[in-house]
Structure formats: C-alpha cells, structure tokens
Structure 1
Amino acid sequence: MKKYYFTLLLCLAISMLKAQTTIYFVTTDGVAGNSGADWDNAKTLAAAISAATDGDMIFVKKGTYTAASGLPLIDLTGTKSGVKLYGGFAGTETSLGDRVFGTTAADSTNFVGNGSRVIANAGTVTPFTKPITYDGFTIKDGSVDASGGGGMNNFNANAIVTNCIFKGNKTTTSGNGGALYSAGGPITITNCMFYGNTSAGSGGAVIISSASNADITSCTFDSNTAPGYGGGLYTYMDVANPTTITITNCTFIRNKSTRATYSGGGLTNENTNPIVTNCTFRGNEASVGSGASGGGVLNLNTTTAKFINCLFSGNKGANAGGGVYNFSAAGKTCTPAFINCTIAGNNAASIGGAMCNTGAAGSGTNPVIINCIIYGNNHGIWNNATNGATATVTYSDVQYAGVANETNYSSGTGNINADPMFSNSPAFVGAPFTTGDYTLGSNSGSVIDKGLNSAISGYDFDITGINPRIYNGVRVDMGAYEYQSVLPVTVSAFTASLVNNRTQLKWSVGTENNVKRYEIERSQNGIDFVNVATVSANGSASYNTTDASPQLGVNYYRLVTVDNDGTTARYKDIQTVKVTSLAIESILIYPNPVKGNVINMALNGYTTGNYSYKLVNEAGATVQQGSVNYGSSNVSIATTAPAGVYVLYLSHGNSVVKAKLVKL
C-alpha cells in the first residue's frame, strides 16, 4: 500500500512539473547544447523547437535566422502542438510584456527562406489539438512550387499568427497563397502585414481553403499579386468541408489579380460565407484581359458574404465591376449583402463601375444592399437581368446618370440619387488610386439620418471603430462613415507628448459655446477608450492635463467636449505616444508602507477585467503570484510575504504595470 501511494505521488509530481511552462531563449549565435534558460545560455532556434513541448514558450532575439538551402526554417509536421514562438526581443527581457517591437528590418526578428517555404505546420489526419503560436516575426523570401504558402503552410494545423510581417514570399508553378496557405485546421491572424507577396495560382498573399476556419483581424494586404483569384486574399470552400471566416478591421490596398476573367484584385470569396466588417478596399485592380472583373472584390458562385461598414474606393476593373463583381455559375446562387458600405471612385472599362451582378444562364446572383452610398463611380450598378441577376436595394444613395449599363434604383424604398458631398472624392478616371476622404460633412444632409436602424443592429460603431452609429439617437446615416456633430468650440491644436513616462496633453481652443468640460480618453488599440482625465471649461484659450499612467506600447488619446446639456462631441484628431518602459509608480499602493497582510491598489482609469499579478522581492525572486479581478472599485491582495521591499507587477493582455512597495 505504501508503495502504491509513493508511486501515485511521484506521478502527480511529474504531472505538475510537466504542467509548468518552460521558456527557451534563442539567439542567432546560440549553442544547441545550451540549456536555453536565459539569454546568456541561449539555444539555437532548431534546438529550442526540438526541446519544446506543449505549452512551452520560445523567446527569439532580434536578428536574421536563415533556413538551410532547400529546407524550411521551421518544420513542425506532426508535432509540437501548443508550442508558442515569440520574436522582437532585444536580448535583455525576462517576460513577454517587456519586449518592444522594432520598426526596421535591422531591428526585427527575421525568419528568411532559402529556396523553400519558411515555416511548415502540419498535423496528422486531424489538426493540432492546441494552436502553434507565432508572434512578432518578419517572415520573408520564402519560395515553394506547386504546394501553397511560400512564407507559411498550415495543413491540418491549428495556428495563431500575431504581429507578423510577411514580405516577398512566393509560390511558383501553380501554388496558391504566396505568403500563407491554410487548409484543414483553424487559424487566427491578427495585426499582421502582407506586403509584396506573389502567387503562381490564387491568393497573392493568403489563401484560406476548405475546413480552415479563419479569424483575420487588423491586417493589411498591400501590393500582393496573383494570376488567379484574389490578388490579396482568396477564400474557398467545397461543400463537404464548410469554412467559417471573419475579416475585421483589415485594409486591402494596391493588390492586383491578372486573371483574364473573374479576377478579384483585393479579395475573392468562392463558395464561402465570410463576415467582412470595418474593412477598406482601395486602389486594387483586376488588370489584364477583356474579361478582368472585380477590381476590389469578387464574390463567386455560392457565396453569402456579408460586408458591413466597408469602403470600396479607387479600385479598377479592366472589364467589369470596378468596385465589386458578383457572379454565379449555372445552378449556383451568389447572394452577398452590403450594409452601410461606401462604394465610390471606382472604374470599370465596360460595365458596372461600382458593382456588376451577373451569372450564367440558370444561375442566381442577387445581392442585398442596405444603407449604402454608391456614388462617384463611372457607372452605378449593372444587372444581367437576362440571366436572372438583380440587386435588392433599400435605404441607399445610388447614382444614376442615365448612361448605358446602369440600373435606376432611386424609386426603391428609402433610396435616393443625390450627391453625398464627401469630404474629398477623387474622380474615378484616376483609378486605381488610394487617396480620398469619404467622411460626411455638415452639407451631407441627403444621406445623414436616412438609413434603416434595424439593418445595422449589433454594430455600435462605424468603419473607424470609434464613431458611434446613430450618433444623434435618431437614425443611422447611409454609408460607411457616421457623421459626427461639430464641436461646440473650435480646437486649433491638440497634442500629446511623453515626459518622464507621463503623457502631457495640451489643447488650444477658440470661443467656447455652452461647453461644460473636456474629457481625455485613452486606448491601447485605437478602438476601446476609457476616460483618464477631466478638465472643467473656464473660458481659457488653452488647457492641459496629465495622464500619469500610460500603458506599455502605443497609447491613443482623443479629446471629448461635453456641453451643459450633456451632449458630447469628439475632436477629429487622435494623438499617440509610445511607452517603451514603465514608470515604477504606474499604480498607486495605499498605504505605502504596507501594514498587515493586505495590499491595496488604486487603478483609476484602467481597463476592467482579470489581471495576473506577481510580487517580486529585491533579489528578483517571485514570492507570490495569482490573479485578481478589477471592476469599478479598487483591488486588494492578501499576502503573507515577510517584511521587505517589493515590486508588484500587474498584467492584462499585453499590458504590464508595476509599483514599488515596502511591507512592514
């Protein structure tokens, strides 16, 4: 019996040790046989990957890591589920929250191909049970032939790709997805850039294929090229392997498809159902051939894509559908939806400068368009009615000039045909172009408060992610941008600067009219803002205040005015400051010195939610760690730490704050 309990305890101990995360440190001059326990004992990249198991992290120092000729730099075929690789380290950090990304190639962690793809992730028959993570790398110059993904191939894998740049990758012969190929497993891509990648098939930068559920957020697709579908991105699904895709806050710019028919310069969706929200398509092109169509977007065959709060401007189709081309083959139905989108300044040489809806005989191409502005293109909407193509358009501003190949929608429910008076709308003849300001002004009354509120239900902000929808509480505007009321005071300057790890904010104003106070709001992502300072209006020409606790990384600040009647308005310019290290006083400990066994913290202005904490003594040892929840009140932590001097670290997402305390 004693032997049984000893064996059980031994197994439990081994299991607990295994559950602990190991961090391996990697440098360009690391040694394979080193422990990898710190930067002074760094391993090689290959040795660290070989040693890592489920849940382990690999910290990779800035520098260039080049693959052996003809081989991937990283090959995780059939192994390494749950391993996490992080780049962007200077080589002094001890935690993930300490790193600061570089802005140049020389100040980055570069994974470079050498006659093969850079990264190969492949599960066995089924995807990895836990995702492989890549965060903070520049993945470039990969090349592969018939199979896809010159930069990264994910087949039956499960991947999270964050804060990465894919540049100059390619496929040759017939491969799809010049930078990244994903099929057979889920993938999350966040805050990444795909620049100058080329494909020999479809998806100049990325292809998301069957059974690969994808969440793509805050990514930029710039100057990618394909001779097939989708110069920037191609999503494809077959009936037997359904795929769920979301594309949010992404920019598609200067991408090109050279396919002679049905092209999709920026994005092609074939048989897929992506939800595309707050995305911009500018200056993309379907460039070659008399049938080249879909400069911005091509929706093909059985596609039920939904576009919400999107801008299509300055795109060009060598034939049809400068902004959007919707097509279905015989027996197929293409039914995309466009809600609160702006389609302007697009050009097609033949038909449908803004949008072309067509298909083979016996097909059904029937897009739904609500709350949209379709104006300033060389044609409006063209439908191939002979083959059953038609668009259902309501509560939209659709230009009809009476030229050939246009459909007049001005008599439809809630529709108009009036100049929306964009802030700056370049002429369509210059397409492809990436300029233009399609926000609304005080003279845009024809489209302000003219939309259908129920159509945008569940979407609280416009394309900017900042301006609230239904701003005045009455009706939503048409188009991607919601008009914001004019400030009750003229703001001539608004600045933010970092001084001694505190943000100094200053603004100058003209005559104040009914202004009660000013509020400063801060965000870490440019979308979610919290109030960090309030200043009463007193008739001054200039004001200033300080944010004593800016967060690590980029901080976004905006100025809000509040009238005496409670009406608010936001100044148009957002200021940013970058914090590379935290002040020791980032949080307030009270009382300090701490008496007894409770540490009290004030976190006024911080994001609510769960925070991880650790208490570190003067020797650098962690004496206590855990998690706390911060709501609207202050936070207390019970501690049995002995008397001494400590630093308390709080982390929430990628943000870390700290404070020094003395315990009596």
Structure 2
Amino acid sequence: MKKTLLLLLLGLFCTQYLFAQTKTWAGTTTDWHSDANWNPVGVPTASDEVIINTATIDPIISSSVSAKSINISVSGALLTVNSGATLTISSIVGPVLQISNGGLTNNGTLLVTNTNPTEVSQEAAILLTFSAIINNTGTITINGGANYGIRMAAATINNQSGGIITSNGKEVIRFGDSGAILNNNAGATFNGTSPATAITLIPGKLNNNGLVNITGSLELYNSNSRLRNLGCGIIKMTGDYYTQSNATTENDGLLQIDGSLYNSGSTSNDGVIRANAYPTLTNLNILVNNNAANNAIFTGSSFKLSAIQGIFRDAAATISAGTYTSNNNTFIPGNFPGGSYILYAKISYESCTFIVPFSYIRTPTRRYVKTIGTGTGDGFSWANASGDIQAMINASSANDSVWVSAGIYKPIADASGNVNPSNSRNKIWYMKSGVKLFGGFAGTETSFAQRDFKTNKTIFSGDVDNNDTNTDGNSIAETYTDIQGNNVYHILAIINCDKNTGVDGITFTAGKSTGSSVSQTVNGFPLSSVYGAALSINASFPTIKNCIFIGNDGLFGTTYHNNTNGIDTVRINNSYYLNNRGEQTGGMFIHRGHTFVDNVVLFNNAAFLSNNYRDGGAISVSSNMQAGKTIKFTNLTVVNNNSLTPKKTITADGNGNISFINSIIWNETPVAGGNIFNALDDGTLTSSYSILQNSGAGGSWSGNYGIDGGNNYDGDPLFTNISDIDGADNKFFSTDDGLSLTGCSPGVNTGTNTNTFTTDITNSPRPYNNGVADMGAYERQSVPTLTTNPTNVTVNKTVVCPGNTVILSAQCSVGTVTWYNQATGGTAIGTGNSLNQSPTSTIVYYSACEASNCKSERVATTEIIVTTVSSNISLTASISGTAIYASSTTITATNKVLATANAQYLANNSISLNAGFEISTGAVFVAKATPIAACN
C-alpha cells in the first residue's frame, strides 16, 4: 500500500512538470481566457511560461489567472488586467515578470513572487527595460524574496490615483539609469520593505505626489539621480536618506526620515522634513527635529513656523501636548509625566496638512519653593520661587520634582484648598502620584548633588496655631510635650499615589492626631484624623527617605501605612523617628500591605495614654495585616523606646511575614522576655543577624522574637554615645552620631550582605571596604578594633603568707592588659603586663585586653592561697571545715578528714599520710608537694 501511494505521488509530480509548457500569445481576440488565442492551444496555467511578442491584438485578463512567468518583449505590446481580475505569477527563477519595450496596465490585482530563497546577482521579481511601462490603478504586490523586488532601466512606472504598489525584497526597487522613472501620483501609495536600502537611484528619477512608505533607507547614488516630492506628497522611511554627489532632492511635501539626512549633492526644502540629523541644505520652510529642546523642535523662519497649528499627544491631533508659540519658536509641554514620547506636530500650508510625528523627551519639570515667594512666584527657578508647596505639587506631573529650601513651613489650606476651614486642624499637604518632594536646599543650588539636607533643614510643622513650646527657637518640637493647642491632624498625606512618588529630606514635627475620628476627602479618599500624625499613607507606595519624624503625637502612629489590596511596597529608608508618642504606636503603624524599612533609627518613642504605656512603642504591625504580605526590617536601630507589658516596643500581629535582619533592638522598656510582642495569627516572624535584647540568642531563645534565623546576639551593642545621638556636630545622618558602633561592637562585620542597601543612614558605603555589613543603621567606616583575650596569664606564687607580694603577668596583642579582682563588673585594680599585688585572703585575679571602651573577656589567674606557712607540721586532730596547711618542709598526717571538710595539705618537701589517716565520704581533700617558702 505504501509503495502504491509513493508511486502515485511521484507520478503526479512528474506529470506536473511533464505538461509544463511555454505559451505564446497568438490572439485573434483580446480574450486571455480563450484556448484558441494561445500557441500551443490552451489557456496558460501556473506551471506555464508566457511570452507576449506581438502588438497586433493585446490580451486582456478579466478574471483570475496564473502563470509561472510572463515576458512581454515587443514594442507596443500591452497586457491589461481589468478591474476585479487577478493575475498571479510565481516562479523560483527570475525575472518572474519581464517587460522590454511593451507595457502592462493593471486595474485589478497583480501578484508577482520570486520564490528563489537564494540571492542571485541582478535577479528581480520584475525587470523593466527598453521603454517598458507599467500603469497601475489597482493593487500590485511584489515579493522579491532574497532578490530585488523591481529592477528598471529606461522604463517607467505610473502609479495613478487609487493605485497601491507593495514591493518587498533585497531592495524594494532599483533604478538603473536616468531613464528609469517612478511617478507616484496624488492619491497613489507605494509601499516597500527591505532589510537595508529600500530604494536606490543609480541614477533614476522618483516623482511623488502621493504616499511612499518604505522600511529601509533611500539613496540617490550619483548624478542624474533626482527625487522630487511634489505638492502634498509624503515620503516616509525608517532608515537614512542619502543625496550623493551631483544628485538632487527637491521637497515640497513631507519627507519623514526616521534616520538621518545626508547631503553631498543638492537638497532643497520648501516643505517639511523630519530627521534625526541634518547636513547643510537649503531650507525654505520647516525642519522638524527629533529629541530637541523645547525651543528647538522646529527650524525655520517665524513666517514659515506660523504654519504649525499645534503639538499633540495623539496621531489624530486631538489631544494637546502643550502650548507652541511660533513667534519665539517655543513649546511649553502640558501636564503629562516626564519621559520619552512620540508627539505630533500639525502643520498646514497652502493646500497641505501634515501630522508629523517626532520623538520628544519631556524632561521632568523642577519647581522651587521658599518660605516666602520671590520674583514672579511661578516656581520655575529659585529667583522666582513659589511660597506655596501645595500649588507646586498640584502643578507637577509624574516624574516632576518640587525643591523646597530650608525653613519653617506650615500647611495653609485644607484638602479642598480652603485657607480658612472651620477646623484649622484639617490643614494639610498632600502628594500627587509620581511627584517627588525634596527638602534640604539652601535655595541657590543648580544641581541635586549640591544639596546638604543635614545642614539645610526643611521643617514641616503642624503648629498652625503658632503656640507650641519653642525655647530653643528652632520651631522643632524636640518632644511631643512641646505641642500645645490645636495642631494639624496630619502634616502630609500620600493617597492613591504610585511607587514613583517620593518624599526626601524633610523634618516632620508637631503633628497631632486625635482620639475621635474627623475625616476630610483627600485625592478621593476619606482620610480619618486618627491615622498618622506626621504622615498618612493610604493606597500608595511611596519611598520616604532622609526624613526626620520628631515630636509628633498621634493615635495610630507618627507614620501610618495602609495599602489594602496593594501589590507594591511602601519603603522607609534612611530616616529617624525621635521622641514621638502615639496612643497605639509611637513610631510607625503598619496597617496593611508590603513594607520595607531600611537604615532607620527609632529612638525614645512611646505608646502612651492616661499615664500608661501601651502597645508598640516604636512599631506596630496591625492585626489587619493580610496573609502573604512582606514586612521587612533591615539595618534598624531601635533604642530607648517605651511600652507597657505585654505589648512591648514592637508589636507583631496579623497574618503577614515579618523579618528583622541586621538590626539592633536595645535598652527598651520593658525588656523581660524580649522586646517584641509576638501575636501573629497565621503570619511568620523571623529574626537573623541581629542584636536582640533578652532574646536568649546563643542559649534559650525567646519565642517573642519569632524564629531564630541564626547569627543573632544578646548583648550590649556598644554604641559610641547613647546619650548624644546626633554627635558632636549636632547633625543627624553623620558618622559621629551617638548610635554609630564602636570598633569593638559585636555588631561590626557580623551582619549579612544579602539584600542590604549599598549605603548606610549617613550615605557611607555598606559594607565598609567590601567586607561584611554591620548590624544597625550605621556602618562603621574603619577596621574593627576588636580585642583578643590576654595570653600567658600567670602568677609567680600560688601560696603566700598574708601581706606577701605576688606578681601577676599577662600579654595583649591589641590593647592594654587591665587587671580586676572579680570575674565581671567592678573597677580595674591596675594595668600593665605585670602587676604586684599583696592579697590578704585567698583570691583569683582576672586580666582583660582593653582599647578605648572595647574590652575582651576576662581571663583568670591560678587561685592564690593566702595562709600561714610553718616548718614541720604534724596533724592529728580531725578536720571538719575548710582548712589549709602549708609547710616549708614536711607534713605528717594521722588525722581524719571528715565528710564536711574541704582541706588542702601543701608542703615544700613531702607529705606523709600515716596509719590512722582517713578521708570520709563526701570530703574534699588535696595533698600537693609544691614549692613553698617559709613566712618572713
């Protein structure tokens, strides 16, 4: 059966080519479809080669026909494809359609395909020579494959109104001499796609009054090459445009070049040209420049520029992109985000209107604010700074920024813009999605790198009734007790804003939420007065950076984060929470949604109400936290915060996944059982690479810290100066800050580098010197000075008489040997590699290596026994208590050491235990021959 099928297929294949014929037109009528008009008799099929070599009676195609190839080879011969008819020509050998001297008129559909997958020199799907002509009002589709679409010399293509020619190939069309002409008339379309150069004139003439749209470049190769884009003609190309030496380009319409324009010949423009780059040319009208500045999008005289009807966001030119003024050739972009765009210029002159796309980079707009507006107050420069923060935020678009100089600022209106609301506590600032708000400027900077936010404090204060305690005159509430009267419920709200929204370099102080809810609508959201005294974040994902939250008094946190159903993340970076209070949480209250907190200090915050400390002095993660949400705290320093047992400094509740990494939690009140109240439902809490007070790390782990993720430590982090947290320069964000780590801190070089920031809270490198990251918000910027334990710890005598001197000896590879008379605590009794002591009772001494305030572990000497030393000793009486007998010669014993005894016999020469000597069960007895000198 398989053999039969194979033979049948081979037979069919052979039959097809066995009957392929060359058909010559011999018509006595014009009917292509008549068998009698062909020699040999029969209408050509797709496998037949067709020759038309007579001009006596020209063939006309009135329905669908096919041929393998067609050659029209005599002057005056004309093939016509009527409207509604289709001629399909396809061959693996080109040219598929060849016309020499004759012509083809297409009013229907002509499909010409060269199926040869291999490039053959000079081969084309259509070859036109010797006065050949094609007139088209229908549709011609040419596929040259690996070869040319069209090659022509001394021939003409007239694409008339309504005609569409589409040519694809190695080149769309190649002109071979000055007699090769393509006339693409008004209403006609010529399309083409090639991998490189689409149209080459070497030489030739291209006259366009319609639309030419090609993928690739266009080149006028030599003299007698000429392109004329006439009237309202449009020529578009994705590549470059070349006018070589002695070639000529004349443009009266639109020449739209995605690449660059090169001119070594003659190029004149009396229309519109758009290109990436321009050579020297004669411009009598308008050039459109890609990626140009707002005052250089167009090149032309002011008279010609008046033809520009506007710049738009859409190709239909219905959505304005801003304001264009022709008399000064300036474009002011509208309120749309910064970034790269394709905009559209509408240009009308004479009877032509063009919609010209061009690439445009909208540089994010920067607006400036000072405490008092200056100049025009439009906010476009420091000299013309606005005095209204909210107005500048409102005027901004996504990716724009607002720069705010140093000084004291207070909200001036509520969310509706009312500057005299019935309740002044509703005054507020609120962000706009994608806008970035920066503080910390002197008010003269020209670049962001010049900003010094540590020195130039931009202070957002909630003291709208101007009566807070301000004894130091800095208008900062150093503690929440400075707040007096009716301060605002929230200083700043971030509502319905995306992840590109940012706040950076602001000090927030003296916000005061309330225990009874009052709400106002902000960005379409009902904002309750109880959430976030300084900052309330709702349905938003901002980044908060380089900010200080100090002296705020709230209900649910100084900052409040609530992102129901949010898929992105709130980020709090490089910031301080200082001396804030909240009835539920003093620092940050994380209600819902992903939250990442990095390089943050929380110091001396309290959850406090009616003289009672409450839950989450520093941080609370709400019981409403959804499952699957990630709350990650990395490189936190949490110190001196207050709360009431059992809620503690940090409350972890809900169903989220919480982690503490590279963090320090220390000196909190209370500390029993650790400083986290772990009330998670189905969520997880993991602590790793952290110093955690009362965690039991290394011993009995406290479950309040969740899962022990490893590499934790329960011990003093050894801060530089916990009583001066802003250091000697009185500036936060500095390396001298008191919560930085000493060189011997157990937090130095003991964190993890995984998923940590590359800088710390001071913007110093993390890790230092490409090493291992530290724990806490500060990265020590020098090698650690960790001391090793002392070695060679000895004493020259182990048994001495009262008042005798012993010599203590030890060595330290780093630091100074320091001596103590107790294992922990106490004060030093001396320093040095050797130290003389005169003990009065049996004692052990301890040595440690110390450098600055860094101390090693203490290493004990051998016990020194202080007792009277006799000559020969004879013991006969029973011993029941503690007793030491020391002889400079011998001891003879016939006594009993009872069960309750702890006795030592020490002799320089010998000890004799004679008959009658007895040791009862339970007694402790030592007999040692050891060098002992008699007492002086």
**TM-score normalized with structure 1 length:** 0.47
**TM-score normalized with structure 2 length:** 0.34
Asked which structure has the greater RCO (Cα within 8 Å, sep 6+), the reply is: 1
Computing the radius of gyration from Cα coordinates, the structure with the larger value is 2
